[in-house]
């Protein structure tokens, strides 16, 4: 894979590329994925020749046009899909099935309507066989940290969309995953609620040194929350550019959004994605 030279938004960024300091947590090596169609001898590739590494504790965002294979990458990283070519590693181990140390957070909260918020948060721990008292302690702590104090015994229909997404975040963190795959988790929320949840998640990822691979169509969101950006081409998707977001406040996206560098960097991403030239983001 040919990765283009890093884009520098300010002169001081023109130094040698900053290398992640921790061990590699996620690695894609020359990965391709095709989906064979019935009755057709050859299947088109959704992604091709995708290679990248993510260090432990990094947050990396993938952006690209509609249909370029962003969600396919997450599905392969979690073991839900197997690559048609190449290899995927999590924690140094080649993936050949679902990975326990990986957790998903999606656009929809997918809370079970017949379970209370606390019992939704406890679900994964219950499946693992953890004792009820221990599950309750973990769930209550996470609900407090996700600003849902007093709502443990409510049901999903009694909560706003933002509150349900907070509960989904608590449920994801309850499993104590080292790696989080975030597939547009804030896209269904209003702008104000989205920024509050971004702030909460960014702080938790930073404090707990979690590794995250984040898909978003919101360019400023990607810049505000990430250490690096991977820009994908149209199908078959491949990485066309990698950008280090060498800015402060990764744990505080509300403050990072105020920096002067945000606008030019978002403009650079729009150029790469050819926004306004019949390119559709998803």
Q: Which residue has the tokens 């609620």?
A: 193
| Tokens encoding 81 | 């899909």
pLDDT value of residue 21: 64
What's the first-to-final CA gap in the chain, in angstroms? 24
Residues of the chain with pLDDT under 50: 1-19, 279
Which residues does 127 contact at the CB level (< 8 Å), separation at least 6? none
pLDDT value of residue 40: 67
Cβ(282)–Cβ(71) under 8 Å?
no
Query: Where would I find the H helices in the chain?
Result: 70-77, 117-127, 132-145, 161-174, 191-207, 219-225, 253-256, 262-273
pLDDT digits (tens, 9 = 90+) for 102-153: 888 887 888 999 999 999 999 989 988 899 999 999 999 999 988 898 999 9
pLDDT value of residue 2: 34
pLDDT value of residue 57: 93
* Cα–Cα nearest to 193, from 171, 169, 214: 169
pLDDT value of residue 41: 61
pLDDT digits (tens, 9 = 90+) for 160-181: 888 998 899 899 888 888 899 9
* Cα–Cα nearest to 47, from 4, 76, 27: 76
Its pTM stands at: 0.84
pLDDT value of residue 277: 56
pLDDT value of residue 156: 94
* Cα–Cα nearest to 34, from 235, 252, 219, 170: 235
| Tokens encoding 209 | 């040194």
pLDDT value of residue 42: 67
């Amino acid at each position: 894979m040919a990765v283009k030279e890093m884009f520098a938004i300010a002169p001081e960024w023109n130094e040698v590329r900053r290398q992640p300091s921790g061990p590699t947590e996620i690695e894609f090596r020359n990965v391709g994925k095709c989906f064979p169609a019935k009755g057709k001898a050859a299947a088109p590739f959704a992604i091709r020749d995708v290679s990248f590494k993510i260090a432990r504790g990094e947050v990396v965002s993938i952006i690209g046009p509609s249909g370029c294979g962003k969600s396919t990458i997450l599905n392969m990283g979690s073991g839900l899909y197997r690559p048609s070519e190449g290899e995927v590693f999590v924690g140094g181990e080649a993936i050949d099935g679902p990975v326990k140390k990986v957790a998903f957070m999606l656009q929809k909260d997918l809370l079970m309507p017949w379970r209370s918020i606390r019992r939704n948060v406890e679900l994964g721990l219950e499946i693992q066989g953890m004792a009820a008292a221990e599950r309750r302690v973990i769930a209550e702590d996470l609900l407090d940290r996700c600003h849902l104090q007093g709502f443990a015994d409510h049901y999903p229909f009694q909560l706003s969309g933002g509150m349900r997404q907070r509960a989904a975040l608590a449920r994801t963190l309850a499993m104590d995953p080292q790696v989080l795959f975030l597939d547009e988790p804030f896209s269904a929320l209003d702008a104000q609620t989205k920024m509050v949840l971004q702030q909460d998640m960014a702080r938790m990822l930073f404090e707990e040194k979690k590794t995250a691979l984040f898909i978003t169509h919101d360019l400023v969101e990607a810049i505000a929350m990430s250490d690096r950006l991977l820009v994908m081409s149209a199908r078959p998707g491949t990485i066309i550019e990698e950008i280090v977001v060498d800015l402060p406040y990764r744990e505080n996206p509300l403050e990072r959004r105020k920096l002067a560098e945000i606008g030019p960097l978002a403009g650079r991403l729009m150029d790469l994605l050819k926004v306004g030239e019949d390119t559709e983001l998803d």
